[in-house]
Amino acid sequence: MSLALLLPAGLAALAALLLPLLIHLARRSEQRPIQFAALRWLRQKPKPRHRIRFDEWLLLALRLLLLAALALLLARPVLVGGASQSPWIAVVPGVDLRQARAVPAAGDARRHWLAPGFPSLDQPAPATTASVTSLLRELDAGLPAGVALTVLVPQQLDGVDARLPALSRRVDWRVLPGAMTLAPTRAATVAFSLAIRYAPQREASIRYLRAAQTAWKGDGKAASDLASLAQPLPANARQLIWLAPGPLPAAVDGWVRQGGAVLLDHESTLPKLPATTVLWRDASGTALVEGVAYGKGRVMRFTRALTPQAMPALLEPDFPQRLRALFDPPQIAPTRVLSASHAPLTGGPTFPQSPRDLQPWLVLLIALLFLAERWLATGARRTVAP
């Protein structure tokens, strides 16, 4: 363990230590000569030499310590090293607790739950939906390089990544009886109820959407509600294609913010729309549709006009399926595996240990020194220099 300074230039404030010294010299009580008649005729002798003398040493020492602590605070001191090298035993919630406690380990081993915050095993098993793989990486990054790590897992794991985690240390991976209580994550199902609203100048593009409707009917999908802009949206509409140039009406904007999904015309405008990402490209890599989350819903936009000249993909046989897929909710990858086949690999990155910040303790010390200095400076027991 060693002390380090993140900002050594802050020690330049130590020059302020001269201030209390000067104040104590300047505020010494004045000595006023008094004439005595009986002493007037005595022969004058050389005056003794004056020595520099400080009064109230304890008050002066407190003020010097206070300024030194402030200068040290500006230098931002930290403690490097000194972390415990005791082995760690991380237990995934769901493992049989009696068997987890029965696992042999060193006397100074630390047992914790593999959960956010890594609570002690003496606490009840936490209910968490955090990813086991992410927690393993976080724990590995937070432990010093030489600390041995044992992980106790049930036969089946939920909440893992698609690939094995690579950690910076070798992990003693032990499978014990038990089961995680996490329910399998499923993608949200949203009924397909599409409404199409178009301006008169976009009527030529509607035939391609009608062709897509026909293909959806053949696949057993729900038919769409197709009408002009004047027609209000049906109450059960969850998806919308808006083919009209200009600003999006406030009513439609609010509908999207409440959870709707809209596909806009390439000339439609929506103020303060966040940056979008490409959702559909053609065979040549040209972006056809861009989109972004918007409130509780989603906003998508064609990047070009719905004409074969501008968008040849309209004539492709997979156009109805690609258009329909834009409104599907994102699929969630499986996160359940057998624990025996998910042991972490070695060779992951090694992270330097974060130094321990001493500033909170210094602030407390400065506050105590200030209170003590004020008590001595204003107390009734303060002495007066002769």
For the residues of 206-240, what is the DSSP string, one character each? HHHHHHHHHHHHHTTPPPPEEEETTSPPPTT--EE
pLDDT for the residue 38: 60
As a whole number of angstroms, the distance between CA 336 and CA 184 comes to 8
Q: Are 39 and 369 in contact (CB under 8 A)?
A: no
Query: Domain map of the chain by residue range?
Result: 1-27+55-79+355-386, 88-185+336-346, 194-325
pLDDT for the residue 60: 82
Which two structure tokens, joined as six digits, stand for 216?
């959806």
Read off the pTM: 0.49
Q: Are 251 and 229 in contact (CB under 8 A)?
A: no
pLDDT tens-place string over residues 252-288: 999 999 989 999 999 999 888 888 899 999 888 899 9
Q: Which of 119-128, 148-157, 184-193 has the least mean pLDDT?
A: 184-193
As a whole number of angstroms, the distance between CA 6 and CA 77 comes to 6
As a whole number of angstroms, the distance between CA 289 and CA 314 comes to 13
pLDDT tens-place string over residues 69-83: 888 888 888 777 666
pLDDT for the residue 39: 59
- What letter would DSSP give residue 313? G
What 3-state class would DSSP assign to 20? helix
Which two structure tokens, joined as six digits, stand for 270?
């929506």
Which two structure tokens, joined as six digits, stand for 331?
């699929």
Confidence of residue 227 (pLDDT cuts 50, 70, 90): confident
As a whole number of angstroms, the distance between CA 183 and CA 203 comes to 48
DSSP 162-194: SS--EESS-EEEEE-SB---PPPP-PPP----E
In the chain, DSSP assigns E strands to 2-5, 77-80, 88-91, 110-113, 149-153, 156-158, 166-167, 171-175, 194-198, 225-228, 239-243, 246-247, 261-264, 268-269, 277-281, 287-294, 297-302, 336-338, 345-346, 356-357
CATH entry, 194-325, from 2.60.40.10, 3.40.50.300, 3.40.50.1110, 3.40.50.880: 3.40.50.880
Confidence of residue 55 (pLDDT cuts 50, 70, 90): low
Q: Are 105 and 89 in contact (CB under 8 A)?
A: yes
Confidence of residue 221 (pLDDT cuts 50, 70, 90): very low
As a whole number of angstroms, the distance between CA 275 and CA 277 comes to 7
pLDDT for the residue 384: 47
Residue type for 62, please? L
Confidence of residue 220 (pLDDT cuts 50, 70, 90): very low
